[in-house]
């Protein structure tokens, strides 16, 4: 998906050198709904056949900055609604789920004279940052435009445990497909957009740091948002 989108973007950038247009920079505010679900299980299913699942939702207001290039207005589009290629970045980081915890009971080593048990509380949550979206906007009719984009962000896992057998999952980067529809316009050098967007991220899969007997997690993250953008066109 990334290669296809980049090919289209580069082709349109090359085409734009033959057509008048303008660059814009701006800010974007969004009301976003985040839906996340995850599953933890034993790696090979032999040590522990149980499966732990968790699904959460979270709403938030977020801000982004963007830079984009817009070609001249299409014949079927209103003023300011031309083919647009841009890059969007969300600064900072955000939690994507409530902290999840469970209590495990660890027993002493087999063959010990005394059988002792130890209660271990393990907690887990996730944080995302370095969110970037390379997008393409196409005029549909009048002031209405369609949007598609390639999205990428870093996921940091924040698990803890107070037992000696606790392990970690590490961090990774996930990709996603961004789709949307909205309205845009221009007044002098000022541009504006009102849009509805959805982003579907690829399934995340991580193995724990205990390579011989650890667990694995899979997770899915989707977002839905309504946003307003305000920019300046040079």
List C-alpha distances in Å: 76 to 8, 17, 79, 170.
Answer: 21, 21, 10, 49
β-pairing verdict for 117-124 and 215-233: unpaired
64: nearest Cα among 229, 232, 234: 229
- The first and second tokens of residue 122, run together, are 């393990």
Per-residue model confidence (pLDDT) at position 160? 57
* CA–CA separation, 18 and 44 (whole Å): 57
Per-residue model confidence (pLDDT) at position 107? 52
Per-residue pLDDT 10s for the chain (234 aa) are 555 555 655 555 555 454 567 899 999 999 999 888 878 776 655 555 566 777 778 888 999 999 999 988 778 888 889 999 999 999 876 666 555 555 555 555 555 555 555 555 555 566 777 889 999 999 999 999 999 999 998 877 766 555 555 556 667 788 999 999 999 999 999 999 999 999 999 887 777 665 555 677 788 889 999 999 999 998
Cβ atoms of 39 and 55 within 8 Å: the answer is no
For Cα atoms 171, 134, 173, give the angle at the middle one, nearest 5 degrees: 10
Per-residue model confidence (pLDDT) at position 112? 55
Residue 63, classed as helix, strand or coil, is strand
Range of the domain at 121: 2-233
Per-residue model confidence (pLDDT) at position 86? 93
Per-residue model confidence (pLDDT) at position 60? 85
pTM tops 0.85? no
Cβ atoms of 62 and 94 within 8 Å: the answer is yes
- The first and second tokens of residue 167, run together, are 């392990």
Give the chain's domain count: 1
- The first and second tokens of residue 61, run together, are 């207001």
In 43-189, beta strands by DSSP E: 51-73, 82-95, 100-107, 117-124, 126-141, 144-157, 160-161, 171-187
- The first and second tokens of residue 29, run together, are 């505010």
């Amino acid at each position: 998906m990334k290669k296809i989108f980049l090919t289209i973007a580069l082709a349109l950038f090359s085409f734009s050198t033959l057509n008048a247009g303008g660059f814009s920079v701006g800010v974007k505010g969004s009301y976003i709904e985040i839906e996340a679900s995850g599953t933890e299980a034993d790696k090979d299913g032999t040590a522990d056949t149980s499966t732990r699942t968790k699904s959460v939702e979270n709403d938030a207001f977020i801000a982004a900055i963007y830079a984009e290039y817009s070609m001249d207005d299409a014949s079927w589009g209103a003023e300011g609604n031309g083919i647009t290629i841009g890059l969007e970045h969300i600064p900072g980081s955000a939690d994507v789920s409530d902290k999840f915890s469970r209590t495990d009971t660890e027993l002493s080593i087999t063959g010990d004279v005394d059988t002792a048990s130890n209660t271990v509380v393990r907690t887990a949550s996730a944080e995302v940052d370095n969110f970037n979206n390379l997008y393409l906007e196409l005029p549909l009719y009048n002031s209405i435009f369609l949007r598609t984009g390639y999205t990428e962000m870093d996921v940091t896992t924040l698990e803890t445990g107070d037992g000696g057998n606790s392990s970690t999952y590490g961090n990774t980067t996930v990709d996603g497909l961004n789709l949307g529809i909205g309205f845009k316009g221009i007044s002098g050098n000022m541009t504006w957009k009102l849009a509805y967007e959805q982003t579907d991220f690829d399934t995340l899969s991580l193995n724990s740091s205990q390579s011989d007997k650890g667990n694995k997690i899979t997770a899915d993250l989707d977002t839905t948002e309504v946003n307003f953008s305000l920019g300046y066109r040079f």
